[in-house]
A and B are shown apart, each in its own frame.
Chain A
Amino acid sequence: EAEVAQSPRYKITEKSQAVAFWCDPISGHATLYWYRQILGQGPELLVQFQDESVVDDSQLPKDRFSAERLKGVDSTLKIQPAELGDSAMYLCASSLTAGAYTGELFFGEGSRLTVL
């Protein structure tokens, strides 16, 4: 069964360091999302791509976070410099397309970030 691949699964870093997460969506899925889930809370959208274009990054802290999906396939989320409050699960999700009631987002297993 096709799935969303994410790496690394776990990342421990010190504050002020740079960290990057990678996501490979399900083949053919045009829409890709990065969510952040803090313990005890629901996933919060950071950025949404339609192919290679950013559709929504209104909740992305752009002073330290960046995201790209250069060829409209896989995507990288970067944090530089990392802060203690960035400790969270970073979830990537994809869908066939957006805005068409087509159903669900397919999530990867997530990347757990711990900032010391």
Chain B
Amino acid sequence: DQQVKQNSPSLSVQEGRISILNCDYTNSMFDYFLWYKKYPAEGPTFLISISSIKDKNEDGRFTVFLNKSAKHLSLHIVPSQPGDSAVYFCAASITGNQFYFGTGTSLTVIP
């Protein structure tokens, strides 16, 4: 049973505009969430995280929003750049143990 879901397999955005990637989860015990970015033939690299005590965390162009009641989180990238084109995975865990990953969203930023 997929506990973390990314329902959009792909997303295309114009350079300079906002990219919004969405993630839903089913387990209400999850309290720590992360976003990873993956280029082809490379391992995922950490992007940004948020714990359940917050509803927003910002790092430069990247902001993650958490809506616990809806069991939903989103990653906003503003402004989007061509180098942001990659597959983005969200992950969820309970107290930093046993990370569960979504299926990924492939982002293409069009110059």
Contact = CB atoms under 8 A, between A and B. Distances in A.
A6 B42 CA distance: 11
A108 B101 CA distance: 16
Contacts of B44: 43, 91, 107
Contacts of B99: 33, 45, 105
Interface stretch (B61-69, B75-83, B90-98): B90-98
A48 interface: yes
B35 to A, nearest CB: 10
A104 B32 CA distance: 10
B34 interface: yes
Interface in A58-109: 91, 93, 95, 98-109
Interface of A is mostly: loop
Nearest to B45: A107
A19 to B, nearest CB: 19
B43 A4 contact: yes
Nearest to A9: B41
Interface of B is mostly: strand
Contact of A99 (B42, B49, B96): B96
B85 interface: no
Interface residues of A, number: 29
A41 B99 CA distance: 15
Interface string A43-62: 11100100000011000000
Contact of A48 (B46, B49, B98): B98
B98 A56 contact: yes
Interface of B: 4, 6, 9, 32, 34, 36, 41-46, 49, 51, 89, 91, 95-104
Interface of A: 4, 6, 33, 35, 40-45, 48, 55-56, 91, 93, 95, 98-110
20 contacts: A4-B43, A40-B104, A41-B104, A42-B6, A42-B91, A42-B103, A48-B98, A91-B44, A98-B96, A100-B95, A101-B32, A101-B96, A103-B46, A104-B36, A105-B46, A107-B36, A107-B44, A107-B45, A109-B42, A110-B42
